[in-house]
Chain A
Amino acid sequence: MELPVLYLLIPFGLVILLTTLFVMFNFFHIAHFGLQGTKTALVLVGYIAIYVCALMFVFQILSSFDWSQTIVLPDLFSFKIPLI
């Protein structure tokens, strides 16, 4: 049985959705309940910057793989790991 590797991105997409939601909750909390001032504004900018950097890093990792491959399930569970 063969599956396109691209299918693995579906659960990963859900992970991105979930983490984005959590970051938005945090952002909302600080924007709504934080102290009025420059410090809070800087924290909010920092939040966005850190999360965007994390996403870019993750996309960089994932873009180094060949996503046109297919998974052959029996091969996957045979654990053929190439030795260095």
Chain B
Amino acid sequence: MIDLGNLPNHERDEVTKLFLRRHWISLVSLGFTGLALLCIPAFFYATMRFIGWNFIGAPTLGIIAGLLLSTYLLLVTVILMTQFTDYYLDTWIVTNCRIINIELQGLFSRTISELHLNQIQDVTSETIGMLPTFLSYGNVYIQTAGTRERFNFQNVDNPEDVKELIIELSDDDKRRHGDASSDRIV
């Protein structure tokens, strides 16, 4: 398990400042998807009853329908659980020294990337749409020097505050360790 007080490759005097996950609205959306998927068999059964087919009462077809329904319910449960795992394990940790991005890509692939705060060139926050504006969530993009892929915090709570804090921590780190965000060779 990950211990915020003792992160992998823990540096001296390193303190965790932020622990981020996607906004809770992602969970609400997952809940609605689950509810919709669970309603499909009930809707199908109601339609069959409406047109006058009692396939549940048919000796063999009833059993096959029962098995198909059971298989469907188990698969939906597992898919929802996997989606929740993806939500729960996709995290961003901001310390006073670095940013750690932990991302689960499917069940068998996990990426952990790390970025030192003194490498940060630019931080951008973005809130697009009505719901993100009301609920105050959005994306934060962190650009580093050179061709390195930028860090994306997707759908995090209060992106403006996150951006401000990262800029502040980055400035502090550059003062302590020197600026490594420039491509220029001096």
The majority secondary structure among interface residues of chain B is: helix
| Given known A22-B82, A36-B2, A71-B60, contact A83–B71 (CB-CB < 8 A) | no
For the complex, is A45 an interface residue (Cβ under 8 Å from B)?
Answer: no
Q: Which residues in A have some Cβ–Cβ distance to B below 8 Å?
A: 5, 8-9, 12, 15-16, 19, 22-23, 25-26, 29-36, 40, 43, 47, 50-51, 54-55, 57-58, 61-62, 64-67, 69, 71-72, 75-76, 79-84
| Given known A22-B107, A35-B4, contact A82–B58 (CB-CB < 8 A) | yes
Q: Known pairs A12-B70, A19-B77, A30-B89. 10 more at Cβ < 8 A?
A: A12-B71, A15-B71, A30-B88, A33-B110, A51-B81, A62-B67, A81-B55, A82-B57, A83-B53, A83-B54
**A72 partner residues in chain B, CB cutoff 8 A:** 60
C-alpha gap A75/B59 in the complex (Å): 10
C-alpha gap A10/B158 in the complex (Å): 51
Instruction: Count A-B contacts at CB 8 Å.
Output: 111
B74 lies within 8 A of A8 (CB): no
B63 lies within 8 A of A26 (CB): no
Q: Which of B7-30 contact A (CB under 8 A)?
A: 19
